[in-house]
């Protein structure tokens, strides 16, 4: 149902089914479509409670109908992720769309909330289906194994999936090394077995500082 037209536009072919997408990301459609605004953070009463507690600010819309709908957001690169019953963790600002077979929620991630505009919680997507995530520049998918843990700058982190443990550690980033940051810098460390998606451009952070 999901396909890319170029690298920055997502086309979704629908035959009466629905897709959830970032509010305002629809750029064109043909056929007959209905649009409904949703609140992010999860479905149902539990999702409402979670959003109130976490302050998750993801806003989604549901698009349902027959035809093709095209989505894009600020010329960001779009990456398709196929889920087979597993769970994807993604920064809410990097989520573009999910199909109807996937559930969304929130998960506590700790100190990465120092990233400007992102709370202490990350959006979760799980089930069977496709998700479209965005990155500033083409995303790179890095493998984490037991032998090779991975350390990521929080400003470059986009998403991760698999059996990964996440921790936060102090350290010197390139920006603090070059004298562009202040305070105590931190990095995100992943251990276990899975995949981490990073972008070649860092979102605005407090210089990765806590």
pLDDT at 91: 87
pLDDT at 172: 58
pLDDT at 210: 31
pLDDT digits (tens, 9 = 90+) for 94-125: 999 999 889 988 776 654 444 444 445 688 99
With residues binned 3-state (H G I as helix, E B as strand, rest as coil), the percentages for the chain, rounded to 5, are 10, 60, 30
pLDDT at 209: 35
pLDDT digits (tens, 9 = 90+) for 52-78: 544 455 678 999 999 999 999 999 999
* DSSP state letters, 10-71: EEEEEEEEEEEEETT-EEEE-SEEEEEEEESS-SHHHHHHHHHHH----EEEEEEEEEEEEE
Q: How far apart are CA 117 and CA 137, in angstroms?
A: 19
Q: Is 110 helix (H, G, I), strand (E, B) or coil?
A: helix
Q: How far apart are CA 48 and CA 210, in angstroms?
A: 29
pLDDT at 127: 94
What is each CA distance from 153 to 10, 22, 145, 170, in whole angstroms? 27, 25, 18, 11
pLDDT at 108: 67
The terminus-to-terminus CA distance of the chain in angstroms comes to: 41
pLDDT at 116: 41
Q: pTM to 2 decimals?
A: 0.80
**Angle ∠(113,119,123) on CA atoms, nearest 5:** 110
pLDDT at 107: 77
Report residues of the chain scoring pLDDT below 70. Answer: 39-58, 108-121, 171-185, 203-210
Residues in the chain: 210
pLDDT at 77: 97
pLDDT at 180: 55
């Amino acid at each position: 149902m999901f396909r890319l037209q170029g690298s920055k536009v997502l086309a979704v072919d629908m035959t009466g089914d629905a897709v959830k997408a970032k509010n305002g990301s629809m750029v064109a459609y043909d056929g007959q479509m209905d649009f409904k605004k949703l609140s992010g953070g999860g479905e149902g009463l539990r999702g409402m409670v979670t959003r109130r507690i976490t302050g998750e600010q993801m806003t989604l819309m549901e698009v349902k109908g027959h035809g093709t709908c095209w989505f894009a957001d600020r010329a960001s690169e779009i990456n398709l992720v196929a889920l087979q019953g597993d769970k994807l963790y993604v920064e809410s600002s990097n989520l573009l769309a999910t199909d109807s077979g996937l559930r969304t929620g929130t998960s506590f991630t700790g100190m990465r909330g120092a990233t400007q505009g992102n709370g202490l919680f990350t959006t979760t997507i799980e089930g069977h289906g496709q998700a479209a995530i965005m990155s500033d520049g083409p995303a790179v998918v890095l493998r984490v194994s037991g032998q090779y843990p991975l350390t990521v700058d929080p400003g470059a982190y986009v998403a991760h999936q698999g059996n990964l443990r996440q921790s936060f550690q102090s350290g010197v980033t390139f920006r603090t090394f070059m004298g562009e940051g202040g305070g105590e810098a931190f990095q995100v460390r992943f251990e276990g077995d899975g995949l981490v998606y990073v972008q070649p451009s860092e979102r605005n952070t407090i210089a990765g500082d806590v």
